[in-house]
Amino acid sequence: MQKCKTKLLIVTLLLLAMGAHGYAAETTSTIDDQKDVAVTIYNEDLALVRDLREIALGKGRLQLALREVSARIRPETALLRNLTNPEKLVILEQNFDFDLLSPQKLLEKYVGREIRLVRTHPETGEDRFETATVLAANNGIVLQVGDRIETGVPGRLVYPNVPDNLRDRPTLVVDLINDTAATQALELSYLTGGLGWRADYVAELGPEENSLDLSGWVTLTNQSGTTYQNAMLQLVAGDVNRVMDEMRGRRELLMQSDVAAASAPKFQQESLFEYHLYTLPRPTTIRDNQTKQVALLNAAQVPVNKEFRLQGYPAYYQTRHEGLAQHIKVGVFIEFANEKQSKLGLPLPKGVVRVYKQDTAGRPQFVGEDRIDHTPENETVRLKLGEAFDVTAKRKQTDFRKLGGDSLYNYRFESAFKVVLKNAKDESVKVTVAEPIPGDWKILQESHPHTKESSETALWKIDVPGKSEVVLSYRVEVNF
């Protein structure tokens, strides 16, 4: 309490001594003052920046212009701390100047003010100067030159100076009171948009399709308007709750590539609250308008299960389907366990897994991709790679009857189906037929035994020999 009173007294005395407009000349800090920078990037276009600079500050009330901050800084989150003399610096206010210098902006700032108009004689090359007043700068320029109005003016416009509220780079201006004139360590922390990351995975299936080699990359994107030189980089994987602005949009990220060497040190992982934190054990430079890839993981010979799956729909069991689709695609899936026994066993950030397989000449060919969510250790990763070419299916409703019911909640239906599975391969395959059956149901007849995967799913696992077909038929009663 005594410290607060002392600090308040210092502020009051300094303000009285300097007067209401007792500013010193603006002190400018550039990236050359930066001694350390740390960037923590979250999944959803959000990052925390900690920028440490050593700045020579004068004594008294002054304005500190911090250049090369993010152009997408959220200024309401900015926090400036004096690490050298924490009690000797008082923040009065801060302003983020994002109105950047350009010919159009400069012209707009001079509306109602005088400039000089320079015309060059086409034959002699002599310059002729006139004083003009800018009347408007919307969709062109309107000038008053003497007693006449001119638009579309040929020649050059000469301005006496650059207005103080125009900056060539995004700048955070802090109005502060400093008690000691000296070089001091100031740390600026803030949240910003324009920085994001995602995980990208590349997998190569083995020749027998029972294992894969998996590589993981972290893909960083920087459209924040500034470069982070030799930054300590950390990534947070998880869904962090945020209060979103109503009008905040999203930007597409189209940038040049900067791929890290495969032998570089990989991220170190630890738990953080209910998320996972990945730390790169070396500094890295994240340039503005750049995509950078950094190695995340490598795992070889990860065991894989391949599945052919025919997926049904609940609507099949609620009405008659005279025109039920005859030809149905059979999906191709692979899955592997994220566990140490499978040579993985670490939290996998969400991202896209792209899968390749070598052809007979040893050239890798793309065979499909799928997106995974954040996957903790000891969970299963399941990927849909596409639809089978040589394994096909036909489904037909062979019978349908309404057994009873007169309202939405007591209907009883009985229906029968025939599913023809064909295999054009030389080798045998196993096809999983998954039928999501709504309501209270029971299988009355079936050609192959089923298992109950859940309260609403019946599974049949059918072996289909090479160059042959197998017919699955079943009858089911459904009660709503």
- pLDDT digits 0-9 by tens, 357-395: 999 999 999 999 999 998 989 999 999 999 999 999 999
d(CA 284, CA 235): 13
> Does residue 461 contact residue 432 with C-beta atoms inside 8 Å?
yes
Q: What is the pLDDT of residue 37?
A: 96
Q: What is the pLDDT of residue 24?
A: 56
- Among 230, 221, 215, smallest CA distance to 257 is for 221
Is the pLDDT confidence value at 262 over 60?
no
256 band by pLDDT with thresholds 50, 70 and 90? very low
352 band by pLDDT with thresholds 50, 70 and 90? very high
Percent of the chain clearing pLDDT 90 (strictly above): 54
* Helix, strand, coil percent values for the chain (each to nearest 5): 10, 55, 35
258 band by pLDDT with thresholds 50, 70 and 90? very low
Is the pLDDT confidence value at 10 over 50?
no
- Among 308, 304, 305, 325, smallest CA distance to 464 is for 308
Q: What is the pLDDT of residue 139?
A: 82
User: Model-level pTM greater than 0.75?
Assistant: no
Is the pLDDT confidence value at 260 over 70?
no
Percent of the chain clearing pLDDT 70 (strictly above): 87
- pLDDT digits 0-9 by tens, 125-151: 888 898 999 999 888 899 999 889 988
Q: For residue 315, how far is the Cα from the chain centroid?
A: 37
> Which residue do the tokens 């394994």 mark?
391
- pLDDT digits 0-9 by tens, 84-110: 988 888 999 988 877 667 788 888 888
More confident site: 363 or 327: 363
At a CB cut-off of 8 Å and minimum separation 6, what does 98 contact? 71, 167, 170
Average pLDDT, integer, range 15-39: 73
Angle at 201 between CA 259 and CA 228, to 5 degrees: 35
326 band by pLDDT with thresholds 50, 70 and 90? low
266 band by pLDDT with thresholds 50, 70 and 90? low
- Mean pLDDT computed over every residue of the chain: 85
Q: What is the pLDDT of residue 249?
A: 37
Is the pLDDT confidence value at 268 over 90?
no
Average pLDDT, integer, range 281-307: 93
* Range name among 2-11, 51-60, 355-364, 411-420 with the lowest pLDDT average: 2-11
Residue 134 bridge partners (DSSP): 111, 143
- pLDDT digits 0-9 by tens, 425-436: 999 999 999 999
170 band by pLDDT with thresholds 50, 70 and 90? confident
Residue type, position 149, single letter: I
333 band by pLDDT with thresholds 50, 70 and 90? very high
Specify the DSSP element, H or E, that contains 156: strand 156-158
- Among 39, 34, 383, smallest CA distance to 201 is for 383
- pLDDT digits 0-9 by tens, 176-218: 999 889 999 999 999 999 999 999 999 999 999 999 999 999 9
Average pLDDT, integer, range 296-314: 93
Distances (CA, A) of 264 to 17, 171, 200, 217, 234: 57, 34, 17, 12, 16
> Does residue 213 contact residue 204 with C-beta atoms inside 8 Å?
yes
8 φ, ψ (degrees, to nearest 5): -65, -40
What does the block give as tokens for 363? 């050239």
> End-to-end alpha-carbon separation of the chain, Å?
69
Q: How many CB atoms lie within 10 A of CB 155?
A: 14
